[in-house]
Amino acid sequence: MFNDHIERDWSSESRQVIIFRLADELYAVDVKHVQSIERIGSITRIPDAPSFLKGVINMRGVVTPVVDLRLKLGLTAEPFHESSRLIIVHVPPYDVALIVDGADEVLEIDASHLQPAPEIGAQRTPYIEGVLDIDGRLVVLLDLTKVLKENETEAIQEATEGVNIQED
């Protein structure tokens, strides 16, 4: 069973995903949501924002919220490093920059690689679309529409409203 309790027929699907790292785990998101992958630059902090909201960046003239995906998924916070990246994704109603430990590759996957999301009580389970087995590596496919809950997108919108940042 899938988390949303809807059986899906994966047999006819082929899609591209971006594989990235958080801690020692591999994750993926569907390429259709990804706008770009960027190095981490200057992030403008926002007072009283949720802990997973690190601030905002100016992405080509647009104020874009920055979410630390480690914190959002319940992992331990770590300082950014040389391979840390921002994956700019479109999560309606706007773009969000996700901080990841490194973006590794783009892969085309087919249904035979995707297994249903586990139905365990772990904090990450609601965000998991499925688990991929790619050459013996387990990769967690995230459902970006569920990563940020509706009340969290409202909190991000409120926190970033009226924020002005300089163009890089």
CATH number for the domain spanning 59: value is: 2.40.50.180
Looking at residue 101, what DSSP letter applies?
S
Average confidence (pLDDT) over 156-166:
66
- The answer to whether residue 168 is domain-embedded is no
Domain assignment present for 1: no
- Reply yes or no: is the peptide bond before residue 126 cis, omega within 30 of 0: no
Residue 38 banded pLDDT, cuts 50, 70, 90: very high
Q: Does residue 4 form part of some domain?
A: no
Per the domain annotation, does 130 fall within a domain? yes
Instruction: Say yes or no to pLDDT of 99 above 90.
Output: yes
Sheet containing strand 53-59, strands side by side? 34-39, 85-91, 94-100, 62-68, 53-59
- 88 or 146: whose pLDDT is higher? 88
The confidence score (pLDDT) of residue 163 equals 64
* Residues of the domain holding 25: 10-160
41 inside domain = yes
In a domain, 2, yes or no: no
- The tally of domains found in the chain comes to 1
Whole-model pTM? 0.81
More confident residue, 94 or 38: 38
| Higher pLDDT pick, 102 / 104 | 102
Whole-number Å distance between alpha carbons of 100 and 165: 23
Give me the percent of the chain exceeding a pLDDT of 70.
78
Q: State the Cα torsion 15-20-23-24 to the nearest 10°.
A: 70
pLDDT tens digit sequence for 41-61: 999 998 888 888 999 998 888
Q: How far apart are CA 159 and CA 85, in angstroms?
A: 23
DSSP for 26-73, written as a single string = EEEEEGGGEEEEEE----B--TT--TTEEEEEEETTEEEEEEEHHHHT
Does residue 3 lie in a domain region? Answer: no
Dist. CA 24–CA 33, nearest whole Å: 24
pLDDT mean across residues, the chain: 80
pLDDT at residue number 6: 35
